[in-house]
Amino acid sequence: MNSTYPHIFFPHLKTRDHSWEKIRRAFKYAYYRTKGSFDWYLRADDDAFVIMENANKFLQNYNASKDYLFGFRWGHFEPTGYADGGSYILSRTAMESFIEVMKEKKTCPEFHRAEEDQELSRCLSRVGIFPEDTRDNYGRERFHHFHPDEERNNFMKKMFLKRNAYYSHEWYPEHVSDTTISFHHLSPYEM
């Protein structure tokens, strides 16, 4: 870790099994530390590559004072889908709603759960916030769960996407937007 950059470290929550607890704590910390002064909150894995220019341009079309959850939308586990944990974006009011719904233990449980993206979407769905359609005007994805090579060359990953994506999925590169916001599973060298 680099002490030059602000960061949060939870030494007792080291494994992926604690990702739900970590994200709850990180979002609370970020929100209260900034006093809710940001319009948008981006969460990205350490192996996600985010094209901030495209994210900023995309977000200009939306009002942060309304509830928004943006990310690659999966169609399994939750009837309304859930935003993939590789990277997703919450509007300020969606973040406020998440902070509030986290206080309701029955609605938004605190237990150890690895699938933080599913839990976050589940908690937000209980207050009427669902993942938005982030595809471009041609139906191409802006957020990507896999590395570009995985989507292009790995038959099993292609089939997984075809079976589990919320929206019907075309083969690579036909589904990659010119205004892509993020890819997942990239090494530091590839970034």
In a domain, 99, yes or no: yes
Judge contact between 22 and 10, C-beta under 8 A: yes
pLDDT of 107 higher than 90: no
The whole-number pLDDT of residue 3 equals 66
Are 132 and 153 spatial neighbours (Cβ–Cβ below 8 Å)? Answer: no
Which of 6-10, 51-55, 69-73, 133-137 is the least confident region? 6-10
Q: Which range of residues forms the domain containing residue 179?
A: 16-183
190 occurs within a structural domain: no
1 inside domain: no
Q: List, for residues 8-62, the tens digit of each pLDDT value.
A: 766 666 777 778 888 898 899 889 988 888 999 999 988 999 999 999 999 999 9
Domain contains 64: yes
Burial class of residue 145 (count of CB atoms within 10 Å of its CB; 0-12, 13-18, 19+)? buried
Tell me the average pLDDT of the chain: 87
- Report the domain count for the chain: 1
Decide if 11 is inside a domain. no
Residue 2 pLDDT greater than 70, yes or no: no
Domain-located, residue 7: no
**Domain annotation covers residue 40:** yes
Does residue 114 surpass a pLDDT of 70?
no
Structural domain includes residue 68: yes
- Copy the structure tokens of residue 50: 């985010």
Strands ordered across the beta sheet of 40-44:
40-44, 82-91, 69-74
Please report which confidence band the pLDDT of residue 121 belongs to, taking 50, 70 and 90 as the band edges.
very high
**% residues pLDDT > 70 (the chain):** 87
Give the model's pLDDT for residue 62.
Answer: 98
Q: Which residues, 6 or more positions from 180, have their beta carbon under 8 angstroms from its beta carbon?
A: 51, 54, 141, 142, 143, 144
